[in-house]
Structure 1
Amino acid sequence: MEFTKITEIELPAAYDAHVHLRDGEMAQLVTPTIRQGGVSQVYVMPNLVPPITTIEQCLSYRKRLQAVEPKVEYFMSLYLHESLTPDIIREAKKAGITGVKSYPAGVTTNSSSGVLDYNVFYPIFAAMEEENMVLNLHGEVPSTPSSAPLKSPSSSASSDTAPSPPAAAAAAAITILNAEPAFLPTLLSLHQHFPNLRIVLEHCSTSAAINTVRACGPSVSGTITAHHLSLIIDDWAGDPFHFCKPVAKTPEDRDALIRAVVASDGRFFLGTDSAPHDGGKKRGEDKIAAGVFTQPYAVGYVLDALEVGVKRGVIEEASVTKEVLEGFLGKWGRKFYGIEDEKNERIVLRKGGEEIVGILTKGGLGVQVVPYRRGEKTWKVEWK
């Protein structure tokens, strides 16, 4: 097919391997937009306040989401926390929980209860490997405080163990621009110690991340968001609604992500990291909340980014095949997670048929969210 010339395409419903649906009023607002974006199955992040650290919390959260939108299938995760034990991991597997999400402490929204040292969680990772659960990594190192002196990492670290994120931050000045590359040795170390543990490096934002995932065995994959396929540094530097963690990087990094979509051999798949925040937290507070909201237009954003990539010469038009679209948007992620698409629902997308709303609101709710690329046109999703 000549991708840039098509105006309508039919595809299987998408699987979004990384979503933030929040809770309470925010969940009531954004959860119904999952299917609007062309998605039938989602993997839900656990960084609520407080974080989802118990099986009971996780299952209760899924019930609340199902009550809001019962047509979506929700796959759930626990928050990597010191209260977890190998026995909890085994019970979580029996309860149908899919994986565990790791956040380095303080690196992004609602991550204050996150990891200080990955080594102490090795018993957890061993149990996850045995139970065939997925470890999801927010792959960044926390930034170095501006007042902190630079020093070498602790000499007590063993030679075959990558430094934990705080040690890595101490080794060099870490900013939001190099936080992901600084984390990659930790990914390699975890893969070395647990070669059969299924690991997902979430929301890859650099060419270095793409290359590192490819250097690992088949038990390691990466997700790519819709917005990282389009944004670069200049886009978020002056616009709070384009600011996320990890931040968008250089044009070269963006182009590496686009190429990975069409030439990944199934190693990368869609995880939107759609992250809703009330408009006031993006505009009016002293510190801008990190997150780009893409859920209602998820599949359309990806198609738009690939079309721009073709027109800019980043990828060949012939590389955007129906097989690639079906793979990146669902097939490859489902295969890695061992997820069946029993309903086999399909969507039809029509180019330019949808105008992105300026503000997402719902009567009776006290929250509102500004979507990515507000006011622009994208593909309209219809369910067959």
Structure 2
Amino acid sequence: MTHSLTIRRPDDWHLHLRDGAVLNAVLPETARHFARAIIMPNLVPPVVTGVDAAAYRDRILAALPDGMGFEPLMTLYLTEDTDPEDVAAAHASGLITAVKLYPAGATTNSASGVSDFRKVQNVLEKMAEIGLPLCVHGEVTDSEIDIFDREAVFIDRVLDPIRRATPGLRVVMEHITTKNGVDYVRANDTDLGATITTHHLIINRNHILVGGIKPHYYCLPVAKREEHRIALREAATSGDARFFLGTDSAPHIDPLKENACGCAGCFTATNTMSCLAEVFEQDGALDQLEAFASLNGPAFYRLPVNDATITLTKGDAVDYPPKIECDAGDITVFDPGFPLHWSVSA
């Protein structure tokens, strides 16, 4: 039985850091274990230009505690007014690593997203030309589509047509939540990858709704049926290089989660690596954890893997804090619902 596992230092290929007091509170939770992260641009106002991205990167680096090493990989928020040349210049300078597509109204701070996908085709064509990945929040927002079906419908109605119209466009289906998403990735070529979150490997929709509403398990895309969770776990633990870790760790202060119209998001930065070690051990796949957390993402983004390592050690249950203190209000840490026996050290 394995009690110690050393892997390359992991990266997070989908992370929300917010800004201001929340940024200051949560950044150390990621930087403690992760070397790099793709930073989501859905601030208010959003990060839509290279100038915006440079300013946000500077604020992130200013908030990084002394002695912590961490590289924010910046993204731009795609709008119907995005300038393809600004995108290309930001990419050429090394400032941005990807562009993020939010369908308008799909999730937190997505009101500035895309409604008419024809209006961003020129940007997508430029991105295909320069090899810049598109990160996609894969849900339609039509009111008549059931929230549990929105990912599957998006694949058919939006994603597949976009990819067919833009040969060579490299796409990351972010935070997939369905067997449909897993199957679509597996049926396509190496220009398509997918991130899977920590919490979607652990919870299904029963965790949100059975025995009372659990606001800290509510996220978007919402957790689905158990059959979809099982498909995600099989994909994550398979070693398939097209699947990699993107936590979608999404901090909200408790008053914004615990109310009549609570915000979507699970904050998992603090305990993700311990959670993943438990999941991969449960599925007899500890030998695939490094691929999922540390190798597959850099390969897709054409970046080097990290030289540094972390070591996970199995022992007594780890006592993670239930909340992270923040000047704006406490932030609840994701509770996997089972003890975490894997601790992390450098």
TM-score, shorter chain, exceeding 0.5: yes
Q: Which residue of 1 aligns with 2:189?
A: 217
Q: Which runs of 5+ in 1 are unaligned?
A: 145-172, 311-316
Aligned 8 A contact 1:240 1:282 in 2: yes
RMSD between aligned residues: 1.6
Q: Which residue of 2 aligns with 1:329?
A: 293
Q: Which residue of 2 aligns with 1:168?
A: none
Question: In the alignment, does 2:4 pair up with 1:41?
Answer: no
Q: State how far apart, in whole Å, the 2-side matches of 1:246 and 1:68 are.
A: 29
Map of 1:126-205 to 2, 5 A cutoff? 126-144=125-143, 173-185=144-156, 186-205=158-177
Q: Which residue of 1 aligns with 2:242?
A: 267
SS of the residue 1:133 aligns to: coil
Q: State how far apart, in whole Å, the 1-side matches of 2:317 and 2:50 are.
A: 42
1:359 CA displacement: 1.3
Aligned 8 A contact 1:20 1:44 in 2: yes
Q: Which residue of 2 aligns with 1:294?
A: 268
SS of the residue 1:349 aligns to: strand
1:354 CA displacement: 2.0
Q: State how far apart, in whole Å, the 1-side matches of 2:171 and 2:337 are.
A: 37
Aligned 8 A contact 1:195 1:217 in 2: no
In 2 relative to 1, CA 203–375 (structure 1 residues): closer, same or farther, beyond 3 Å? closer
1:204 CA displacement: 0.5
In 2 relative to 1, CA 370–143 (structure 1 residues): closer, same or farther, beyond 3 Å? farther
Q: State how far apart, in whole Å, the 2-side matches of 1:336 and 1:353 are.
A: 34
Aligned 8 A contact 1:53 1:84 in 2: yes
Flag as ranges the 4+ runs of structure 1 deviating above 6 A. none
Pick from 36, 50, 60: which aligns with 2:45? 50
Aligned 8 A contact 2:199 2:336 in 1: no
Which protein has the larger Cα radius of gyration, Structure 1 or Structure 2? 1
In 2 relative to 1, CA 66–376 (structure 1 residues): closer, same or farther, beyond 3 Å? farther
Question: In the alignment, does 2:228 pair up with 1:257?
Answer: no
Q: Which residue of 2 aligns with 1:149?
A: none
Aligned amino acid, residue 85 of structure 1: D
1:80 CA displacement: 0.5
Q: State how far apart, in whole Å, the 2-side matches of 1:264 and 1:252 are.
A: 20
Aligned 8 A contact 2:76 2:98 in 1: yes
Aligned 8 A contact 1:139 1:183 in 2: yes
TM-score by length of 2: 0.93
Q: Which residue of 2 aligns with 1:64?
A: 59
SS of the residue 2:38 aligns to: strand
Aligned 8 A contact 2:137 2:173 in 1: yes
Pick from 15, 20, 27: which aligns with 2:23? 27
Q: State how far apart, in whole Å, the 2-side matches of 1:142 and 1:380 are.
A: 40
Q: Which runs of 5+ in 2 are unaligned?
A: none
Aligned 8 A contact 1:236 1:242 in 2: yes
Identity, % of aligned pairs? 34
In 2 relative to 1, CA 304–75 (structure 1 residues): closer, same or farther, beyond 3 Å? same
Q: State how far apart, in whole Å, the 2-side matches of 1:120 and 1:143 are.
A: 19
Aligned amino acid, residue 349 of structure 1: L
Bigger shift: 184-193 or 231-240?
A: 184-193
Aligned residues: 336
Aligned amino acid, residue 19 of structure 2: D
Aligned 8 A contact 2:16 2:249 in 1: yes
SS of the residue 1:209 aligns to: helix
Q: State how far apart, in whole Å, the 2-side matches of 1:375 and 1:246 are.
A: 20
Aligned amino acid, residue 120 of structure 2: F
SS of the residue 2:126 aligns to: helix
In 2 relative to 1, CA 302–375 (structure 1 residues): closer, same or farther, beyond 3 Å? closer
SS of the residue 2:270 aligns to: helix
SS of the residue 2:62 aligns to: helix
Q: Which residue of 1 aligns with 2:200?
A: 228
Q: State how far apart, in whole Å, the 2-side matches of 1:88 and 1:340 are.
A: 26
1:376 CA displacement: 5.7
Q: State how far apart, in whole Å, the 2-side matches of 1:99 and 1:74 are.
A: 12
Pick from 357, 372, 381: which aligns with 2:321? 357
Bigger shift: 345-354 or 291-300?
A: 345-354
In 2 relative to 1, CA 183–381 (structure 1 residues): closer, same or farther, beyond 3 Å? same
Q: State how far apart, in whole Å, the 1-side matches of 2:305 and 2:317 are.
A: 27
